[in-house]
Structure 1
Amino acid sequence: MKVKCPICSADVEWSEKSEHRPFCSKKCQLIDLGEWAVEDRSIPGPKQHSDTPPGLPDIEDIEAMLSQQQDDFFKL
Structure 2
Amino acid sequence: MAEETKNPAKDILIGLVSAMSITTSCFCLLALVLCLMQPYTKIDPDAPFSVAFSNVGLHDTRSIALRALTRLSVVILLT
Pick the TM interval, shorter chain. under 0.3
Higher helix share: 2
Higher strand share: 1
Instruction: State the TM-score, normalizing by the size of structure 2.
Output: 0.27
Larger radius of gyration: 1
